[in-house]
Amino acid sequence: FSHTGSGFFASPASQQNKSNSERERSQPTTAAAAATASTLSDSFGRFHSYLRISLTERCNLRCKYCMPADGVQLTQKQQLLTSAEVLQLASLFVAEGVRKIRLTGGEPTVRKDLTEIVAQLKATNPLLESVGITTNGLMLTRQLVGLQRAGLDALNVSLDTLRAARYEQITRRKGWDRVMAGIDLAIQLGYRPKVNCVLMKGFNEDEICDFVELTRDRNVDVRFIEYMPFTGNRWDTDKMVPYRAMLETIRARYPTFEALPNGPHDTSKAYRVPGYRGQMGFITSMTEHFCGSCNRLRITADGNLKVCLFGNTEVSLRDALRSPGCSEDDLRCLISAAVKRKKKQHAGAPARSTTTTNTSYAQTTTLFQRRPALQLQQPHRHYASLSHVDVHTGRATMVDVDDKLSTKRIAKAQATVYVGPTIAALIENNELKKGDVLSISQMAAIVAAKKTSDLIPLCHNIPLSSIKVETNLNSSTHEVHILAKVKCDGKTGVEMEALTAVSIAALTVYDMCKAVSHEILIKNIMLVEKTGGKSEFYRKQFSHDASTLETRTMEERTTERMPPVPPTRPYRTDPIVTNEQFVPMYI
């Protein structure tokens, strides 16, 4: 950084060479402190000492409640803050009174320079009291020791389930075991990790007491977060579990569940079960907001300052930094103007507008008029769209799957053919002239699945790893039931292959039986289940009495397979880094 003004842009080396007396002299006087406080104080007297900085928009998970089904548009790299700009802004805010910084994303651990950023924040900002990260925990076993050496003070881990199968369903990725190992490693290294869990009605609310049990022998702070609205998650009140309902559920099983004292700026209402090593918390953003004591500011990955999570307006600090005429005072004015426009409180669910808001403030400086700041709600489709139609030309097009990850994909489909009592008897006794209806239709389904891309014009040619087809006759209803299960390891799903398989099998039944009667009815051709992609599907209330293929819902399989609470991992003493001593710490 170049040296300008009062020196908050000073290079890391020059700051490290300061003597203690120089640092003491650099502390603000009473008058200067008042001026400093005014920069980060809003019109309601709230001073903002906590800054959250998003390092990236990218993530290595695809959580359903976070990632919309049609994906998100990532900002171009040149529009994102560089590492130098992140450190520059952090130093400015620390000089103005910020004492706590949390690095977020996206997923911050996908940044290769995360450890270096943490080290620089600690080395160049002696007034900074805490640097933390919020992570999904997948990379902790690889990175946490290095981050601790760099000076990382606090750790939040986002984990919405204690069941491996459900974790994979939520995130569309494997990795639950790695997250739990990362949490245990954090405890061994002396951290008290905060485990953030977003509760959703009808999805993971049945695990409330399981998370309480997690605190029995682990020194963690589990925090339940009320489901909140944000871009693309299609929030509705039916999914939200209110704080009071959570508390009632826990106290029904743990009558001694007790409240703990909270700090003036704590967003979490703290509780514990007496005798348990850890504690619980409730972040009640929707039902009992904590706006009156809010001390948080946010900087997005593309450099916009957000003064309220639920607010729509943002102001671009990136544009100001990159402006040749930008001075330290201009930045202070820009930040101060944004902070002073902060509302007294949010109004629950925000308006879902997609327009831009002009944030030209009263101060007269060219920085404020470079462009309007974008709202939190970026333009985004919330209606169904045709994936095989070019939005610009309206012409049919094949979907480009080059950027998709290759995953294991499974699809199941079914069809029913009503043949009537006469044909049913002929099939059962294998007396039709064309041969064994069930076996031949089964073979037709397998061939059809492999030929799907030849039949469906815009369907990808996929190397299938497995095709299983069952054809069964129900003598009582005079129906042939067909069920197909198709698998592949690829970048696109196989539901079309499964649907084609059962459709051709049904047509084969018709072809082989039409000489006897044309009263045959093909019905109920449908997708039963689809897994492995960004949008998964499980048809509820599906039953197929004649089939032995597994057709239970994911919820039923999850409940049946997973234990209610994972066992505590044994404390390990093997080195995390080769040739280095590692001693676990108990707290």
Q: List residues with catalytic annotation.
A: 511
The upper half-sphere exposure of residue 378, i.e. CA atoms within 13 Å in the direction of its Cβ, equals 6
Burial 373-396 (b: 16+ CB within 10 A, else e): bbbbbeeeeeeeeeeeeeeeeeee
Separation of CA 300 from chain center? 16
**What is d(CA 9, CA 3) in angstroms, rounded to the nearest whole number?**
5
**202 Rama sector, left if φ>0, alpha if ψ -120 to 50, beta otherwise:** left
CB neighbours of 281 closer than 8 A, spacing ≥ 6? 194, 221, 222, 223, 224, 268, 269, 270, 271
Which one, of 260, 154, 261, 262, lies nearest residue 215 by Cα? 260
CB neighbours of 500 closer than 8 A, spacing ≥ 6? 448, 449, 451, 452, 455, 456
Which residue's structure tokens are 């079309």?
A: 496
Separation of CA 217 from chain center? 27
Long-range CB pairs of 426-435, under 8 A, 24+ apart, other chains included:
426/513, 426/516, 427/473, 427/480, 427/513, 428/473, 428/475, 432/512, 432/513, 432/516, 433/515, 434/511, 434/512, 434/515, 435/512
Q: Which two tokens stand for residue 56?
A: 């990236």
Give the strand pairing for 407-418 and 521-531. Answer: antiparallel
8 Å CB contact between 509 and 443: no
CA dihedral for 335, 336, 337, 340, sign (positive or negative): positive
Which one, of 478, 499, 539, lies nearest residue 415 by Cα? 499
**What is d(CA 281, CA 195) in angstroms, rounded to the nearest whole number?**
10
